Amino acid sequence: MPHRIPLPFGPTLADRVAGKTVLITGASSGIGRALSLRVAAAGATVIVTARRISELDQLVAEIQAQGGKAHALPSDLSTAEGIDKLADQVLIEFGAPDILVNNAGRSIWRSVAESEHRLHDFERTMRINYFGPVGLMLRLLPEMRRRGSGHIVSSSSLGVITDIPRFSAYVGSKAALEAVMRIAANECHGDGVLFTDVRIPLVATDMSAALGWNGYKALSTAAAANMLTDAIIDRPAHLENLHGALSIWFNRVMPDLARYGLNQLHRMLPEETTRPSPTPKPTAESPTPTLVPALAHD
């Protein structure tokens, strides 16, 4: 079922993207892949980027086989060098995209209490979820402003407004990105550049299935892509589903009850003790234990 009911007199996805250039990060799988296929079918020239080159090539081939236009630019947005390399390629070959969709990301599922000596979990999450999209925006926004048009869409999290347990690293990075997006929107008001945060709930993927959220209804990949297409079509400052809208209301009207309920949820969820000893100095590349997985979409 689509996330929104299209109005007979409103714009369509084709109205927004046909003949336009759309850059989508984290496009090799999941939500980014689904969105890339959708906007390409609507007439956009899609620039897809991620670290996995073979998956990007397969996506481009599929889009082109369906008569669409797509280009693959592999990148690693977890480093400043990777951000600059991608931005340079995009600006030289295509100019600033008409629409930038910041979709690449990763999530760590672990409570604050079990995160002692694991600052690297927060650091690597911030690199991809925050510094990656912010760095790309800093490079592409000036040309959008000079041109007088552009739309920056970022995949955020429903957790930003629900404070869901175990996702402090992930939600913290998304909340920081939302703050930058809000300030950029204020500074660019009247310049023709729009900004949208899409607060996506937990999405059903192979990795999220291992989180232990038994009984929690996760959003499908297609439904999550629907939310991003809604954002491109309607261009709101923020977009969340009905669950998100109800959560905002509930947190404002009954904050103590909301906090109690979330604490009870936290206590019901299983948790593996993963604290390393104080002696080792974990690096940004330290592995995440498989029983408490990291989610990523790139």
pLDDT tens across 157-194, in order? Answer: 988 888 777 778 999 999 999 999 999 999 999 999 99
Confidence at residue 111, expressed as pLDDT on a 0 to 100 scale = 78
CA distances from 77 to 42, 138, 228, 260 (A): 27, 13, 20, 38
Q: Closest by alpha carbon to 233, among 268, 274, 198, 276?
A: 198
The mean pLDDT of 288-296, rounded to a whole number, is: 35
Whole-model pTM: value is: 0.83
Tell me the CB-side half-sphere exposure of residue 58, using CA atoms within 13 A. Answer: 10
Enter the CATH code of domain 13-297: 3.40.50.720
Report the relative pairing of strands 193-200 and 238-240 from DSSP bridges: parallel
Active-site residues: which are they? 170
As a whole number, the mean pLDDT across the chain is 83
What are 6's two structure tokens?
Answer: 């299209």
Q: Closest by alpha carbon to 183, among 170, 197, 173?
A: 197
Tell me the CB-side half-sphere exposure of residue 165, using CA atoms within 13 A. Answer: 20
Q: Which residue type occupies 178?
A: E
231/244 Cα distance (integer angstroms): 15
